[in-house]
């Protein structure tokens, strides 16, 4: 029986391999064999941890959610006020660096699989709605004059912009450069911030 440290180390290697394969090779390249090769282990070891491709995808999405949630928490806490927090949270979600473009490729691969898989789609909806709720709450704190419907509309629009930029920049980081992403975000926020009571 392997020691706990060995089990944890194997899980970390497999986790990194799942992420790396999905980010670099896309959904079609994500196989148990590819993960095993990237992790330097057998497919049997991969199967011991992940039952199938869906489990690989779920793991990658949960890892992505954990990373972005931690960054959003930190960005929101460091902001001067709730509307500054909206911008900070949105900025941390945009693919403004190579690391974040890698995350966008993982997210896009997961989303492609979720389109035809109800279980994965439910996971996507759960995490996406948590993002919308976070943004809506911050908007409500910064703009208490807005109705609930208006807060929801602003939050959904902003999340749609951010996730659209994630998808497009994953494939075309030249057209959707960091500068253009920031500009698009600031233009979307201008009305919300400018109308402050």
CATH code for the domain in which residue 6 is found: 1.10.10.60
CATH of the domain at 70: 1.10.357.10
Q: Are residues 9 and 37 in the same domain?
A: yes
Domain that holds residue 4: 1-51
Query: How many Å apart are CA 197 and CA 162, to the nearest integer?
Result: 25
Q: Are residues 71 and 163 in the same domain?
A: yes
Q: Tell me how many domains the chain contains.
A: 2
Q: Are residues 35 and 58 in the same domain?
A: no
What average pLDDT does this structure show over 154-178?
Answer: 96
What average pLDDT does this structure show over 25-43?
Answer: 91
What average pLDDT does this structure show over 12-38?
Answer: 90
What average pLDDT does this structure show over 45-63?
Answer: 88
> pTM here?
0.87
Structure confidence at residue 3 (pLDDT): 54
What average pLDDT does this structure show over 136-161?
Answer: 96
**Are 169 and 95 in contact, with CB atoms under 8 Å apart?**
yes
Q: Are residues 69 and 114 in the same domain?
A: yes
Query: How far apart are the two ends of the chain, measured CA to CA in Å?
Result: 64
Q: What's the pLDDT band for 49 if we cut at 50, 70, 90? A: confident
| pLDDT tops 50 at residue 107 | yes
């Amino acid at each position: 029986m392997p020691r706990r440290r060995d089990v944890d180390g194997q899980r970390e290697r497999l986790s990194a391999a799942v992420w790396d394969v999905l980010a670099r090779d896309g959904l079609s390249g994500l196989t148990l064999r590819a993960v095993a090769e990237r992790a330097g282990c057998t497919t049997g070891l991969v199967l011991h941890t992940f039952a199938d491709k869906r489990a690989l995808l779920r793991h990658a999405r949960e890892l992505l959610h954990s990373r972005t949630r931690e960054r959003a928490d930190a960005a929101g806490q460091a902001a001067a006020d709730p509307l500054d927090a909206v911008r900070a949270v949105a900025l941390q979600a945009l693919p403004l660096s190579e690391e974040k473009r890698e995350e966008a490729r993982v997210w896009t691969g997961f989303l492609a699989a979720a389109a035809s898989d109800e279980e994965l789609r439910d996971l996507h909806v759960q995490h996406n709605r948590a993002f919308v709720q976070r943004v809506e709450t911050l908007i409500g704190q910064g703009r208490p004059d807005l109705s609930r419907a208006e807060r929801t509309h602003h939050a959904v629009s902003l999340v749609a912009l951010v996730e659209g930029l994630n998808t497009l920049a994953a494939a075309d980081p030249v057209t959707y450069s960091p500068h253009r992403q920031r500009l698009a975000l600031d233009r979307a926020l201008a009305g919300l911030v400018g109308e402050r009571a």
